[in-house]
Structure 1
Amino acid sequence: MIVAGRDGGEGVRLVLETEEAMLLSELADQVDSVLLLGEVDDPALGRLLPNAYPDDVTAAQDFTRYTRDSLVDGKRQAAQQVRDATAVDDDTGLVQIELDQAEAWSWLTFLTDLRLILAERVGIVEEGSDESDETRDDYLRAAYEWAGFVQGSMLEVLDPIKG
């Protein structure tokens, strides 16, 4: 995977291997499934849509009633953008994706949501926590770390530190 600035400096260019693009598309399906079909008591859904008022049941219900649908809709749209961009029609080996700034930030939203779900699934409570190491699934852990690498690379391109 290669992440670089787009010509003109506005946005991001991603060059993915076909397998990476297919993985991102599959993971976007998984994020969408959690948002659509996730059980109310699913801790991963709780990480995506945390309780804004844990000490006030009425305020929490009101907040959920007024914001949940738009939050879920925005997260689903971000996942759909990733799915659309990573659709692989042929096996040429590489998939090149050009994202403008708005699209890139939407991808970052998706990558954040993905990492929250994966962190919950592998038991990462806090980055670098030793206690979660024993419960990690190797495939999910690798996906979590890879998504973090993609996210970090995109952020470096979008918001470089000026020195």
Structure 2
Amino acid sequence: MIVAGRDGGDGVRLVLEAEEAMLLSELADQVDSVLLLGTEDDPALGRLLPNAYPDDASASRDYTRYTRESLVDGKRQAAQSVRDATAAPGERGLVEIELDQSQAWGWLTFLTDLRLILAERVGVVEEGTDDADESRDDYLRAAYEWAGFVQGSMLEVLDPMP
């Protein structure tokens, strides 16, 4: 995967191997699935949509009632934009994606959501630490780390350090 600034403007240019594009598309499906089918007791959904008022049940219900639908819609739109962009391989089995700043930030939203779900699934409690269960799915752990690499690479392009 190559991440670079867009020629002549703000934004990001991604060049993905066909397998990387397919992986991102499949992972976007998984994020969508958690948002649509996740139950209230799914800790991954809890990471995506945390309780804003854990000590006030009434305020929590009101907050959920007024914000949840738009939060879920925004997260699903971000996942859909990833699916759309990664749909068809181009020449030499590469997928080249040009994102303006707004689109790139949408992708970063998706990558954050993805990493929150994967972190829950593999037992990452906070960045750099995980629980003692090393038998967790290596595929999910690798996907978590790879998504972090993509996210970090995009951030370096969008917000370079002076």
TM range (shorter): over 0.9
Going from structure 1 to structure 2, the CA distance change for 1:144 and 1:66 (only over 3 Å counts) comes to same
- Could you say which residue in structure 2 is the equivalent of 1:36? 36
- Could you say which residue in structure 2 is the equivalent of 1:115? 115
8 A Cα contact 2:47 2:116, kept in partner: yes
Residue 157 (structure 2) pairs with residue 161 (structure 1)? no
Specify the SS of the correspondent of 2:51. Answer: coil
- Could you say which residue in structure 1 is the equivalent of 2:86? 86
Q: How does 1:4-153 map to 2 (within 5 A)?
A: 4-88=4-88, 92-132=92-132, 134-153=134-153
8 A Cα contact 2:4 2:12, kept in partner: yes
Aligned residues: 162
TM-score of the two chains, using structure 2 as the length reference = 0.96
TM-score of the two chains, using structure 1 as the length reference = 0.95
8 A Cα contact 1:18 1:91, kept in partner: no
Going from structure 1 to structure 2, the CA distance change for 1:58 and 1:135 (only over 3 Å counts) comes to farther
Question: Within 1, Cα distance between the matches of 2:127 and 2:152?
Answer: 15
Unaligned stretches of 5+ in structure 2?
none
Unaligned stretches of 5+ in structure 1?
none
Moved over 3 A (4+): 89-92
8 A Cα contact 1:18 1:95, kept in partner: yes
